[in-house]
Amino acid sequence: MIRLGVNIDHVATLRNARGEFHPDPLFAALFVKNLGADSITIHLREDKRHIKDYDAKRICSNKRILVNLEISTNQKIVKTALKIKPNYICIVPENRKEITTEGGLNLEKNKKQIKKIVSNFNKKKIRTSLFINPSIKDIKLSKTLGSDCVEIHTGKLANLVKSKKNYDNELRKIKNCSILAYNLGLEVHAGHGLDYKTTRLLTQIKHIQEFNIGHFLIGESIFQGLPKVINNFKKIIK
């Protein structure tokens, strides 16, 4: 079964804009789960621009929710993640100046650090994923580093689709990487910039087992409502 992961970071962004307690990310997590989301993604950034420590603790402690916690390699963030024990973590690159995650991890440059972090989570029986560009080299490295899963960065594909440019080569790269990852025993996830059209394109790749979708899904729900948007995505990936 192909799974739908819903990133609720922007629920926290909306709350933080007012500096109050509404809307509550924990309520959002439970709400979208009841609507059919298979897992919830939250990103505990170093700058805490949306999800705060107390959000992550409350959400991860609720056993009704399957939580994918995105984290950087920052030691303090890693320590917090090990303490609150999400169901699985996804290590992502992080840059304070970026608006959103701009690409995959530089595995070659940071392989010692990442391998140690992955090992620490494996010891706690917390599943690990690495957020990577669609690169054959990075797929092989992810396996070497001991990760359980890879999440392939789909941002470039999404941008090509939205700008109505030729995306065949990028889609082929994602497909080849997905096949290799699957054959190596890695679970394959896809995420970043996904909307209806790009997600529908990626469902052609049968090796992708999970789609993680946030910005478009939350944004579109302003007009259509969360129940309808989640149902639309569930129909696309089924």
Of 29, 31, 11, residue with least CA distance to 20? 11
- Catalytic, 43? Answer yes
- Catalytic, 153? Answer no
- What are the C-alpha distances in Å from 38 to residues 26, 28, 41, 156? 15, 14, 10, 25
- Catalytic, 170? Answer no
Name the active-site residue from 151, 170, 192, 210: 192
Distance from C-alpha of 96 to C-alpha of 226, rounded to nearest angstrom: 30
Name the active-site residue from 10, 50, 70, 94: 70
- Helix (H, G, I), strand (E, B), or coil: what is residue 19? coil
Residue 126: how many other CB atoms lie within 10 Å: 18
Q: Is residue 48 a contact partner of residue 76, using CB atoms and an 8 Å limit? A: no
Distance from C-alpha of 142 to C-alpha of 149, rounded to nearest angstrom: 8
Query: Would you list the DSSP string of 129-147?
Result: EEEE-S-HHHHHHHHHTT-
Three-state helix/strand/coil letters over 77-126 = HHHHHHHHCCCEEEECCCCCCCCCCCCCCCHHHHHHHHHHHHHHHHHCCC
Of 153, 114, 113, residue with least CA distance to 135? 153
DSSP H or E segment with residue 195: none
Distance from C-alpha of 218 to C-alpha of 89, rounded to nearest angstrom: 21
**Among all residues, which ones are annotated catalytic?**
43, 70, 192
